[in-house]
Amino acid sequence: MFANSLKQRQSVPLQIKAGLRTHLVPLILATLIVADFLLLGGLALQRHNTFNSNALDLGYHDQVIWNMLHGRPFRFTTYRQDERARFWVDVPLDQIRDRDSLLSYHVEPLLVLITPLYWLWNDVRVLLLLQAGVLALGAWPAYRLGRRRLGHPWAGLAVALLYLLAPARQAAALSDFHTVAFTAPLFLLALDALDSGKTRLFLLTGLLCLIAREDTAIVVIALALYGAVFHPRLRRPALMLAGVSLFYLYLVTQVIMPYYNGLAGPTYLYRYSQFGTGLREMAWNALYHPQLYWDWLHRPDISAYLGGLLATGGWVALAAPEVLAISLPVIMLNALSNTGWPSSGGAHYSVAIVPFSVAAAAIGLARLGQWVAVIGRWSRRGQNSAVQERPQSHPSYLSLLPSFSAAGWPTLHPSALFIILALVTALHFQIEQGVAPFSRRWAWPTLDAHDRLGAKILELVPARVPVSAQSALYPHLSHRQRMYQFPTVADADYVVLDVTNRPAPLDYPGYFHHARLALINPRFGPLAAGDGYLLLQRGAPKRSPLLEEFLTFTLAQPEEIQQPLQADFGGGLRLEGYKLILLPVIDQRGPHVQITTFWRVLRTSPGNLRPIFAYARADGAIVYQQTELPFELYWRSTGEWQAGQLYKLTSPELQVVDNMVEALLAVIPVDADPTDPTTRLKISPVSGSVPPDTVDSGTLMHLLELPK
The pLDDT tens digits for 571-625 are: 889 999 999 998 878 888 889 999 999 999 987 667 899 999 999 999 889 999 9
The domains found in the chain, sorted by start residue, are: 124-364 (no CATH), 555-705 (2.60.40)
Give CA–CA dist 108/72, Å, rounded.
Answer: 15
What amino acid occupies position 265? G
Q: 594 - beta bridge partners?
A: 581
The pLDDT value given to residue 406: 47
Q: What is residue 564's three-state secondary structure?
A: strand
Q: What mean pLDDT comes out for the span 275-283?
A: 88
The Cα 611–Cα 196 span in angstroms is: 63
- Average pLDDT over every residue of 80-100: 87
Look at residue 4 in the predicted model and tell me its pLDDT.
63
Three-state secondary-structure class, residue 622: strand
d(CA 674, CA 155): 58
Q: What is the pLDDT of residues 322-360, one digit of tens each?
A: 999 999 999 999 999 998 889 989 899 999 999 999 999
For residues 682 and 287, what is the distance between their CA atoms, to the nearest angstrom?
60
Query: Tell me, what's the pLDDT at 379?
Result: 67
Least confident of 106-110, 306-310, 534-538: 306-310
Q: Are 656 and 441 in contact (CB under 8 A)?
A: no
* Banded pLDDT at 176 (limits 50, 70, 90): very high
> 402 vs 294, which has greater pLDDT?
294
Q: 312, exposed or middle or buried, with CB in 10 Å at 0-12, 13-18, 19+?
A: buried
Handedness of CA 629, 631, 637, 642 (dihedral sign): negative
Are the CB atoms for 228 and 202 separated by under 8 Å?
no
**pLDDT surpassing 70 at residue 392:** no
Contact 171, 586 (CB under 8 A): yes
Identify the residue with better confidence: 409 or 484: 484
Work out whether the CA dihedral 357, 358, 359, 360 comes out positive or negative: positive
* pLDDT at res. 327: 96
**C-alpha atoms less than 13 angstroms from C-alpha of 129 in its C-beta half-sphere:** 10
**Could you give the CA distance from residue 658 to residue 130 in angstroms, rounded to a whole number?**
35
Assess contact for 185 and 137: CB atoms under 8 A: yes
Query: Where does the pLDDT of residue 117 fall: very low under 50, low under 70, confident under 90, or very high at 90 and above?
Result: very high
User: Which comes out higher in pLDDT, residue 385 or 230?
Assistant: 230
Q: Cis before residue 564, ω within 30 degrees of 0?
A: no
pLDDT average, residue stretch 49-77: 96
DSSP state of 176: S
pTM (2 d.p.): 0.91
Closest to 191 measured CA to CA, from 402, 350, 358: 358
Q: If we measure between CA atoms, which residue out of 558, 505, 553, 511 comes closest to residue 531?
A: 553
Cα dist from 180 to 172, 330, 587, 627, whole Å: 9, 11, 18, 37
Q: What is the DSSP letter of 59?
A: I
Entry field: residues in the chain? 708
Q: Where are the beta strands (DSSP E) in 107-200?
A: none
Burial track 649-659 (b if 16+ CB lie within 10 A, e otherwise): bbbeebbbeee
**How far, in Å, CA of 195 to CA of 204, rounded?**
15
Between residues 17 and 557, the one the model is more confident about: 557
